[in-house]
C-alpha cells in the first residue's frame, strides 16, 4: 500500500497510482485530524472524495506517532496527549477518538489504537505497552464505526518471543477483521525481524484473517515476511528514496545523481513499463535532479511505486508457480549491492 499520509502519496496523482497498479493506499489519522481535520473531510464527502481516490483506503490510528513523536507526547491509561508539531496546540487521542476520526474519514480499513515502543527498552516497559495495547484494542472494537468499515488489531511485544505469543493470543482472540504486526522496522536487526515474524506466524497458525506487516517496504524484506504468511505492507520508502534520486531496478539500486548518468540515453529500467521508463532517459532524470526540477521527484516516484507493485505481482505469481526461492535470490542479490554507478553504455 503506497503511503498517502496527508491524503496524498507525495508527488503522485491518483491517476499515477492507478497506472502503477496500486489497489489500496494508506492515510494517517493523526496528521489528517490536525490538518485539515476529520470533521472538515467528512463535510466534504469523506476521504475518498476529498483526495479523488476510488480504491480502498486503510487509515493508521496514530499509534506510530506515539512512538515517532516521543518528545511531543504524554501517554496515560486513557490515551495520549500530543503537542501539535504545527502550532503547539494540545491534541488528545484515545482509542475512542481514533476510531471516531477514522469513521469520519470513511476509510475502508481502520486500525485499532496501539502503543508502539522501542523494542530495545527494558522488557517490563515493552510488556506494559503491549498490555495497554490489548486494553486499547478492546476499547477500539467497542467504539468501531459503521459495519462496512473493517477494523484490524495490532500485535505488539517487541522482539521478545514470549511477549509476541501473548500478544497474538490476546489480539487474535478478539473479533477483528484482520491482524496487523506492529513494532517492527523500528531499529531491530533483520535477524530479529525474521525471528519475530516466525513466532507470530506460528502463534497465528491457521487463522485465515489478512495479515498486515506495518511500515515495511524494503524489497528483500517482502520475501522474509511473505515466507511467514504476511499479505499486506505499507511503507514510505519507495517514494522517500525516489526524492533523493535513488530508483529501484531488477539490477538493484541506481543513483540518478551520479555524474556518469548524464550521458546515459537508456531508461531507468528497460523491463519497466512506467511513464518515466517509457518516455525518458537516465540522462534526462539526472538533469532534472541536478536542476532541482519538481518533475524529477514525480518521475522517480512513479518508477519506484510501479516497480515495487510489479515486484509484488511477480512475488504472488512465484508462489503459484514454485519460483519463489529463485525470485528471492535474484532480488536479495541485487539489493545487497551498493547503488549502481555505471551507465548503460558502460555495461
Tell me which of 60, 221, 264, 269 is the catalytic residue. 60
Contact 225, 216 (CB under 8 A): yes
Q: Which residues contact 327 (CB under 8 A, 6 or more apart)?
A: 223, 314, 315, 318
Contact 242, 304 (CB under 8 A): yes
DSSP for 54-70, written as a single string:
-S-EEEE-SHHHHHHTG
CA distance 1 to 20: 12
Verify whether residue 234 is a known catalytic residue: yes
Set of cell numbers at residue 22:
496500486
Burial of 76 (0-12, 13-18, 19+ CB in 10 A): exposed
List C-alpha distances in Å: 93 to 10, 76, 219, 299.
25, 11, 33, 37
Tell me which of 114, 221, 234, 269 is the catalytic residue. 234
- Return phi, psi of residue 292, to 5°: 60, 40
Contact 48, 81 (CB under 8 A): no
CA distance 24 to 30: 19
Q: Helix-strand-coil percent breakdown of the chain, rounded to 5?
A: 50, 15, 40
Q: Could you tell me if residue 158 is left (phi over 0), alpha (psi between -120 and 50 degrees) or otherwise beta? A: left
Of the candidates 152, 174, 171, the one whose C-alpha atom is nearest the C-alpha of residue 107 is: 152
Q: Which residues contact 88 (CB under 8 A, 6 or more apart)?
A: none
Q: Which residues are catalytic?
A: 60, 234
Amino acid at each position: 500500500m503506497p503511503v498517502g499520509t496527508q491524503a496524498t502519496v507525495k508527488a503522485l496523482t491518483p491517476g499515477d497510482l492507478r497506472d502503477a497498479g496500486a489497489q489500496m493506499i494508506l492515510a494517517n489519522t493523526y496528521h489528517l485530524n490536525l490538518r485539515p481535520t476529520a470533521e472538515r473531510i467528512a463535510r466534504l464527502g469523506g476521504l475518498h472524495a476529498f483526495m479523488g481516490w476510488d480504491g480502498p483506503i486503510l487509515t493508521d490510528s496514530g499509534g506510530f506517532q506515539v512512538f515517532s513523536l516521543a518528545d511531543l507526547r504524554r501517554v496515560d491509561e486513557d490515551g495520549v496527549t500530543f503537542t501539535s508539531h504545527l502550532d503547539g496546540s494540545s491534541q488528545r487521542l484515545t482509542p475512542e477518538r481514533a476510531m471516531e476520526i477514522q469513521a469520519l474519514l470513511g476509510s475502508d480499513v481502520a486500525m485499532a489504537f496501539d502503543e508502539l515502543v522501542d523494542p530495545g527498552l527494558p522488557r517490563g516497559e515493552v510488556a506494559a505497552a503491549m498490555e495497554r495495547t490489548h486494553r486499547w484494542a478492546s476499547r477500539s472494537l467497542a467504539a468501531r464505526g459503521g459495519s462496512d468499515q473493517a477494523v484490524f488489531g495490532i500485535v505488539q511485544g517487541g522482539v521478545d518471543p514470549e511477549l509476541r505469543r501473548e500478544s497474538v493470543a490476546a489480539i487474535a482472540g478478539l473479533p477483528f477483521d484482520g491482524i496487523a504486526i506492529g513494532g517492527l522496522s523500528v531499529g531491530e536487526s533483520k535477524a530479529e525481524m525474521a525471528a519475530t515474524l516466525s513466532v507470530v506466524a506460528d502463534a497465528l497458525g491457521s487463522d485465515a484473517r489478512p495479515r498486515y506487516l506495518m511500515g515495511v517496504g524494503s524489497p528483500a524484506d517482502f520475501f522474509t515476511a511473505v515466507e511467514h504468511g504476511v499479505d499486506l505492507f505499507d511503507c514510505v520508502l519507495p517514494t522517500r528514496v525516489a526524492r533523493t534520486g535513488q530508483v529501484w531496478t531488477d539490477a538493484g539500486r541506481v543513483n540518478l545523481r551520479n555524474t556518469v548518468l548524464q550521458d546515459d540515453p537508456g531508461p531507468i529500467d528497460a523491463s519497466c513499463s512506467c511513464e518515466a521508463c517509457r518516455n525518458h532517459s537516465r540522462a534526462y532524470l539526472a538533469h532534472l535532479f541536478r536542476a532541482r526540477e519538481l518533475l524529477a521527484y514525480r518521475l522517480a516516484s512513479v518508477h519506484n511505486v510501479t516497480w515495487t507493485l510489479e515486484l509484488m505481482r511477480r512475488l504472488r505469481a512465484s508462489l503459484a508457480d514454485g519460483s519463489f526461492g529463485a525470485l528471492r535470490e535474484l532480488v536479495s542479490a541485487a539489493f545487497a549491492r551498493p547503488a549502481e554507478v555505471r551507465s548503460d553504455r558502460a555495461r
